[in-house]
Structure formats: C-alpha cells, structure tokens
Amino acid sequence: MGRLSGKVAIITGAASGQGAAEARLFAREGAKVVATDIQIELLENVVMEIVASGGEAIAVQHDVTNEEQWNEVVKITVGTYGKLDTLVNNAGIGGAPGFALIDDVDLAAWNKFMTVNSTSQFLGIKSVIPELRKSGGGSIVNISSMAGLVGGAAGIHYTASKGAIRLLSKDAAVELGPDNIRVNSVHPGFIDTPMVSIVTENEDATKAALMGIPLGRAAQPEEVANLVLFLASDESSYITGAEIAIDGGATAK
Ligand SMILES: NC(=O)c1ccc[n+]([C@@H]2O[C@H](COP(=O)([O-])OP(=O)(O)OC[C@H]3O[C@@H](n4cnc5c(N)ncnc54)[C@H](O)[C@@H]3O)[C@@H](O)[C@H]2O)c1
C-alpha cells in the first residue's frame, strides 16, 4: 500500500523542478495525479515517464492565473478519476536574490508576481473546495518560500507574493477545518531547480547563497517532495494552518 493509495491529487507547476518531483513521488506512492503546467511539452514528458513506470497520471495545460482553466482542471480531474482529495499549489515564478531593488520593481512586475504566485492559489483553493467537501475532506498544500517568512531574500514583489500565501493558507485552514479540509504552507529555501539557475550557474552567487544556510548546501527538489507527500497524506491528519520551513536552517537565524 502506498502512502497516498486511493487519493487523487492535482499538482500545479508539475513540468519542472519541485512540482515534477512531487508528481513522480505522489504517483509512486499510489496517488492518481493530475499534473498541470503552462509548459505542456515538458509536462507531457514528466507524465509519460510516470505512466511508463507504472504510475497513474494525466497532463493538463493550465495557466494558474486563469479562473476558467481552474474550473476546467477540476472538471477533468473528476471526469477522469471520479473525485479529488489533494491540491498542491506549487506553480510560481521566482525572484533573483540581490537582483531586484525596490527602485527597480515597477507596478507591472509587482502585479505579475502577486497574480502568478498568490492570486493563483486563492483561485485554486476556491475551485477545489466543492469536490474536497464531497470527498469528506482533503489536504491543500501551498508552496510559499522562506521569502514568505522573512524579508530581504529575493525582491519585494516576490517576498510580498509569498508572504500572502502564508496567511491565505491560515485563513483557509480556519474556515475549512470544519469541512475536514487541511491547509498548510511550505516554505522552501534554496532548492536546486531551474528557477534558481541564475544562482547555481554562478559560483560567487552560489557561495553567497550558501553562506546563509546552516546545512551549507542547496536542497534537491525530492527533499521538498517528501515534505509535501507527508502533508498530503493522512499521516499529517492533525496538521492544519501550519507553516513549515524547509530551508536548511536559513530562517532559524
Ligand atoms: N527553487 C527555489 O529555490 C525555491 C525557493 C522557494 C520557493 N520556491 C517555490 O517553489 C515552487 C516551485 O518552483 P521550482 O523551484 O520547482 O521552479 P521551476 O521554475 O522549476 O518550476 C516552476 C513551474 O511553475 C510553472 N509556472 C509558472 N507560471 C505558471 C502559470 N502561470 N501557470 C502554470 N504554471 C506556471 C513553470 O512553467 C514551471 O514548470 C514555486 O512556487 C517557487 O516560487 C522555489
């Protein structure tokens, strides 16, 4: 029996990095996975790999800022797998440490980050609630960032967009607790994915980033996937409204 046997999960941003690692791990643990992303070719490769290794998954092209597409994703999920138990709101766009001073952030950039990183998660929560209620409850995991806990890491627009996730998660946890729907936020630090290639491809930038991390290294996306799996599974049945840092100790200082 897998740790997610019998569960149906939507994972956004599953074409790359952490979302792809979560899709692979969820499927290995028995979940039926609806993997979504705007990058459809990459996404289809991830799903083909999952299916080839015996997992159950489908790929759906999906822009998380679009409310109609959210409703369509939920419809496809229920049409394909009959129900829904879990949403991982993972899709997002990144800031580059040290590269975005407040003076250089214009309104368009601010609005873009708020829309893609936080409004998208509100839309996701709103669109899945009816089906989670029908399932008798569920788990929503919202991917924020360590920049959602402390300032100064990645530019004001990124930090504010990730900070909003922390409290939208707590608010939803309070409101949806009576429906047995758990909502938690995950706050990754420096994770080795394409989002931070601007850092990992530059030796000095990497050294500077590692200096702030007690464990002295970046994490692999699979390490975040392990935490998200736990939060999606019934093993975390009494955890809701929690914010969990997975940052090698960076925000412990
Ligand atoms: N990598 C890090 O160091 C780090 C640190 C903290 C938080 N995060 C967060 O983790 C999450 C996953 O990022 P990652 O590191 O795997 O990066 P990534 O760039 O590898 O993956 C992000 C995915 O989100 C998708 N995406 C972007 N905009 C979208 C949209 N409008 N609709 C649908 N999909 C969209 C991209 O196509 C991509 O596949 C993001 O929310 C990111 O902000 C990453």
| Three-state secondary structure readout of the chain | CCCCCCCEEEEECCCCHHHHHHHHHHHHCCCEEEEEECCHHHHHHHHHHHHHCCCEEEEEECCCCCHHHHHHHHHHHHHHHCCCCEEEECCCCCCCCCCCCHHHCCHHHHHHHHHHHHHHHHHHHHHHHHHHHHCCCEEEEEECCHHHCCCCCCCHHHHHHHHHHHHHHHHHHHHHHHHCEEEEEEEECCECCHHHHHHHCCHHHHHHHHHCCCCCCCECHHHHHHHHHHHHCHHHCCCCCCEEEECCCHHHC
How many other C-beta atoms lie within 10 A of the C-beta of residue 229?
26
Mean pLDDT for 16-27 is 98
Mean pLDDT for 19-36 is 99
On whether the pTM is more than 0.95, the answer is: yes
- 127 assigned to some structural domain: yes
- 203 assigned to some structural domain: no
Q: What is the pLDDT of residues 186-210, one digit of tens each?
A: 999 999 999 999 899 999 999 999 9
Going by pLDDT thresholds of 50, 70 and 90, the confidence category of residue 107 is: very high
Amino acid at 12: T
* Ligand 1 contact via 39 beta carbon (within 6 Å): yes
The residue segments making up the domain with residue 186 are: 8-193+221-244
Number of folded domains in the chain? Answer: 1
Mean pLDDT for 7-23 is 99
- 55 assigned to some structural domain: yes
Q: Which pLDDT value is given to residue 222?
A: 98
pLDDT reading at 97 higher than 70: no
Q: Answer yes or no: 238 catalytic.
A: no
Q: What is the pLDDT of residues 45-60, one digit of tens each?
A: 999 999 999 999 999 9
- 208 assigned to some structural domain: no
Residues forming beta bridges with residue 246, ordered by sequence position: 188
- 186 assigned to some structural domain: yes
How confident is the prediction for the chain on average, in pLDDT? 96
Q: Which pLDDT value is given to residue 154?
A: 83
Closest CA relative to residue 100, chosen from 143, 146, 163, 151: 151
Q: Percent of the chain at pLDDT above 90?
A: 94
Mean pLDDT for 62-77 is 98
Amino acid at 24: R
- 144 assigned to some structural domain: yes
* Ligand 1 contact via 148 beta carbon (within 6 Å): no
* Ligand 1 contact via 14 beta carbon (within 6 Å): no
Amino acid at 105: V
Residue whose CB lies within 8 A of the most ligand 1 atoms, among 12, 16, 65, 217, for a mutation test: 16
CATH value at residue 152: 3.40.50.720
Mean pLDDT for 168-196 is 98
- The single residue of 26, 70, 113, 158 carrying the catalytic annotation is 158
- 252 assigned to some structural domain: no
* Ligand 1 contact via 218 beta carbon (within 6 Å): no
Q: Which pLDDT value is given to residue 98?
A: 56
pLDDT reading at 99 higher than 70: no
Sign of CA dihedral 21, 143, 187, 119: positive
Q: Which pLDDT value is given to residue 210?
A: 96
Q: What is the pLDDT of residues 124-163, one digit of tens each?
A: 999 999 999 999 999 999 999 999 999 986 899 999 999 9
- 176 assigned to some structural domain: yes
